[in-house]
Amino acid sequence: MERIPCTGCSLLCDDILIGTDGLFVDKIYGACLKGKERFDQVSSKNRLTSPMIRKSGNLENVSWDNALEKVKEILNASSKPLLYGFSTSNCEAQAKGIQLAKKINGFIDSNSVICLGKALNIAKETGITLTTLAEIINKTDLIVLWGSNAAESIPRLLNKILFSRGKFRMTGREIKTIIIIDPVKTASFGVMQLRDLALNIHTGKDLDLIRVLKEECCKEGSFPKEGVAGIDEEELKRLFLNLMGAENGVIFIGQGLLRPLPEVNVIKELFELVNLINLKQNKGRISVGLLGGHYNMFGFDQISLSLTGKNHSLQFSNNELVNTEDTIITKIEKDDFDCSIIVGTDPISHFPYSLSKKLASKPLIVIDNRKSATSDMAEIVLPSAITGIECEGLVYRFDHVPIELKKILNPPSGVLTDEEILNQIIQKIG
């Protein structure tokens, strides 16, 4: 048996025990369903094991030399290439992706740009404190899930932070309060007890609630009698008293708090609320956690910042970084690309139909270990090893703590890692 980090989600649990016969993982202890699915991918029916090129409308197996030659042909004919994904690759591969984007004067973005990547910039602007998992386990007495269904998106998070007993919290669930703010009664509501607070907010009314709480921080007794956003006056008071009375509270921000309209910056106003609470109360503090989905989503932000000073949406021209307000979404919307390299993700399934249609209309090069709607539409498919099982590397947990992954199996014969594939493309285009 061996103890390894699990890449099922951004929690990167480091207490998973696995047993292997050298070919497959045949024993798994401690993993959730998402973690087990990750290990099952080794022998999954949708596993990619051979390079493929589209010929006469069908994908056909070819040699690596032929596949890379076709990649070179597409990139040499391109003037506006896109690179996207990288959140299920290690940091070494992410650095190679940025190097490739620079070499071909391309645009590169990761999944974090449509998740919580932009929240990092807002945190910097507002001076907000981002906390770590160790701090939460050891100190927290108040946990707020805002727009996040942690029980299903990061299954073991509540087990670790809500039911655990930390270094400075010798009691566990009995002294911890959880508040869930969500328009949908998700699976996370199943952990609620009498001391907890379940707030079924009206859809899209988070900003109204935040602004009322900000007003209360500045002027006591200002709660509207009719409540706000579907929450009555008594619930508002309980929410506010919990936030003000916590010794060490944490607000977890999830996808549900994101808004597509730039003029409605809910996260910025929430961060301002946190700062107001921390200025007003003397007993403790409130900090923030960002719940990304993919296991190395925040790794790209870290690598990008260290290499370029910018954490996402990198546009290169004449092998230099240039300023741009574009993201992967706006680039596709404007048809401002002529080919794309997709690494470890499935945008054809995840993007709205209008974007997926445009993305599929240009040559697609896919680097991945599993079949997907995106690989089915690709011109070239390059199979990759499963990071954290078939290759090692550095990744960053949701709290931006670096974790070293281990290699426990060899990949199928002829299958390369993401880093090796990207490096071969760089060498091929010379």
pLDDT at 118: 77
pLDDT at 166: 74
Domains of the chain: 48-112+296-429 (3.40.50.740), 117-290 (3.40.228.10)
pLDDT at 173: 79
pLDDT at 29: 92
pLDDT at 379: 96
pLDDT at 261: 53
**Average model confidence (pLDDT) across the chain:** 90
pLDDT at 115: 82
pLDDT digits (tens, 9 = 90+) for 210-258: 988 888 776 766 777 888 888 888 888 899 889 988 989 999 998 888 7
Cα-based distances in Å from 237 to 24, 83, 224, 233, 267 = 54, 48, 10, 6, 22
Positions of the chain with pLDDT under 70? 170-171, 218, 220-221, 259-264
